[in-house]
Amino acid sequence: MFKHLEKMKHLVLFISLLFFVSACSTEVSTPSDETNTANESKVVPDRLLTMQIDGMVCEMGCGGSIRKELNKLAGVSSVEFNFEEDRKTNTAKISFDKDKTTVDAIVKAISGLNNGQFKIGEISSESFNAHHVNQSTEQSNEESNVEVNSTSFEMPNLLDLLSSIVY
């Protein structure tokens, strides 16, 4: 009687193990190359807007939120800040395409951020020359290759192994 229970226990254990192992994936993950373009439609800037901004507390937080908001506008190419801590007024240089966005749209976007936290001071807009382009602008518009590789442990599919032995 106990031998019968012992065999039944082994059979249930074997079937459970077989079910568990066969449920595992047999796909092999391979690294894939994805190309990410920083700017889908490249903006060719023809204007450089220099503006004074009051209300910036830090370059990373405030500058990041201003940059993020301006990148939503179609014609903005780059945003750079001349920021010093504890200085009331800081300077932003924004290169943009005048055919895709306007100075008024840029001012409105910055003024509307964080419930009007930023106040715009003096504004000057000039024609954009090639010597204004810096390396960071060029690098942000270039394509970047990203290699994605996922590592995981995968058990062999015992059902496939056993069926190949039997057949």
Domain locations in the chain as residue ranges: 39-141
DSSP state of 164: H
* 73 or 130, which is more confident: 73
Average pLDDT over the chain, rounded to whole?
76
Mean predicted confidence (pLDDT) in 59-76: 87
Domain covering 39-141 in this structure, CATH number: 3.30.70.100
Of 27 and 62, the one with more pLDDT:
62
pLDDT tens-digit readout, 26-58: 555 555 444 444 444 677 888 898 999 998 888
Query: For residue 104, what pLDDT is reported?
Result: 92
What pLDDT sits at residue 163? 76
What pLDDT score was predicted for residue 52? 92
- Give pLDDT, residue 88: 87
Q: pTM of the predicted model, to two decimals?
A: 0.52
Question: What is the maximal distance between C-alpha atoms in the chain?
Answer: 97
Write the DSSP string, 107-139. HHHHHTGGGTT-EEEEEEEEE--GGG--HHHHH
